[in-house]
């Protein structure tokens, strides 16, 4: 039964609604608990999500199923090498009867956009998403058009080693809040997957509205973040740019470019969303530390020396987190004040 939208949603209401959404998704998708949690964080924090994994790991199925649980518009774009920017944002069309041009809006005008196998298209097409991901608008023939609110891009990609893929431009990668890696299921999970796929079809019920989703996103911005947590995020991101400043001089030769200020913002907003998912109105250190690898993974540009020695962005992140400890948990009276 669908709940009515309430802009004054409490943390208990939020947890209940999120539980209903996850229940519907889990009826279709087996396992992938961390991935599902990151998807919910991205939705609450109004951030875009990049998901990487080999084909067949239910990346597309998860996003599509999640879209079916919300009463909102959903579009899917299958990225291919012959795609052009107009296929995404739209174009001007000439009407022979009236002798006038009209604007045909593309599939980006939706609430939830699934960019499937985004690295199958060349950089020119990928860059067409830059404006809409950041400004929530597109420009066609000098005219600006706003996309619906809320607007989220969830992109899937195959690992770069897979044949026929293109690397994503750094400017676009930075606009994704998180990059989540999806791995193979366990033997038990795969057994259940086969049972569900070969069994009778399961219908997913829509349990939330767009108004509810918007109210939850507004409530997420009200979650309290202690200044010490923001300072912790600043130090982590700063260490990717100037490792020697934080006692990690040996890492400098492995990093060409560090993370941008978007990483600090995304860490803060993501920690808020994760705290909200867990029924709290304040952020604890573990809310932020759990998201650090996903937020920094795609923002670090590794040097040739680092790549030759097999050093990954996750390795750098682990070293930085070991050197820079998170702040102590807030005291109980500070929680109440928050």
Confidence at 3, pLDDT banded by 50, 70, 90:
very low
Structure tokens at 147: 């996309």
Q: What is the model's pTM?
A: 0.84
Mean pLDDT, rounded, for 157-172: 74
DSSP letter string, 248-305:
-GGGGGGEEE---HHHHHHHHHHHHHHHHHTT-SB--HHHHHTTHHHHHTTT-EE-HH
Residue 337, pLDDT > 80, answer: no
Q: How far apart are CA 304 and CA 85, in angstroms?
A: 32
Residues across the chain: 338
**Assigned token pair, 80:** 């291919």
Q: Using CA atoms, how far apart are residues 8 and 2, in angstroms rounded to an integer?
A: 17
Cβ(128)–Cβ(85) below 8 Å: yes
Note the pLDDT tens digit of each residue in 122-158: 878 877 887 788 888 888 877 888 988 888 888 888 7
List, for residues 66-118, the tens digit of each pLDDT value.
Answer: 888 887 788 888 888 888 888 888 888 877 778 788 778 888 998 888 888 88
* 124/19 Cα distance (integer angstroms): 39
pLDDT of residue 6: 45
pLDDT of the residue at 195? 85
Question: pLDDT tens digits for 235-246?
Answer: 999 999 988 888
Q: What is the pLDDT of residues 301-321, one digit of tens each?
A: 888 888 888 888 899 999 999
**Closest to 180 in 3D by CA, of 264, 275, 293, 286:** 293
Sequential DSSP letters for 6-52:
-TT--HHHHHHHHHHHHHHHHTT--S-HHHHHHHHHHHHHT-EEEEE
pLDDT of 264 higher than 90: yes
């Amino acid at each position: 039964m669908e709940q009515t939208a309430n802009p004054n949603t409490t943390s208990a209401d939020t947890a209940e609604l999120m539980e209903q959404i996850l229940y519907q998704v889990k009826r279709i998708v087996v396992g992938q608990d961390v991935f599902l949690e990151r998807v919910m964080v991205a939705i609450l924090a109004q951030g875009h999500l990049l998901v990487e994994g080999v084909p067949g790991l239910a990346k597309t199925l998860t996003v599509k199923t999640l879209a079916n649980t919300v009463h909102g518009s959903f579009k899917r774009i299958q990225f291919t090498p012959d795609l052009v920017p107009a296929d995404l944002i739209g174009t001007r069309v000439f009407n022979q009867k009236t002798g006038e041009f009209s604007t045909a809006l593309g599939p980006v005008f939706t609430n939830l956009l699934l960019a499937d196998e985004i690295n199958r298209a060349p950089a020119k097409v990928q860059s067409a998403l830059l404006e809409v991901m950041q400004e929530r608008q597109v420009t066609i023939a000098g005219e600006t058009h706003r996309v619906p609110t809320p607007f989220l891009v969830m992109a899937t990609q195959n690992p770069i080693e897979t044949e026929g893929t293109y690397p994503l431009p750094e400017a676009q990668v930075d606009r994704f809040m998180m990059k989540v890696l999806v791995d193979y299921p366990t033997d038990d999970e795969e057994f259940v997957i086969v049972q569900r796929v070969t069994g009778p079809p399961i219908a997913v019920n829509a349990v939330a509205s767009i108004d509810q989703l918007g109210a939850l996103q507004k409530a997420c911005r009200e979650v309290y973040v202690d200044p010490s947590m923001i300072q912790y995020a600043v130090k982590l991101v700063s260490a990717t740019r100037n490792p020697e400043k934080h006692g990690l001089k040996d890492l400098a030769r492995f990093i060409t470019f560090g993370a941008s200020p978007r990483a600090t913002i995304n860490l803060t907003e993501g920690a808020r969303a994760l705290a909200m998912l867990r029924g709290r109105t304040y952020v604890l250190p573990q809310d932020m530390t759990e998201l650090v690898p996903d937020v920094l993974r795609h923002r670090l540009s590794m040097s040739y020396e680092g790549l030759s020695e097999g050093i990954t962005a996750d390795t750098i992140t682990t070293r930085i987190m070991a050197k820079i400890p998170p702040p102590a948990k807030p005291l109980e009276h500070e929680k109440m004040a928050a």
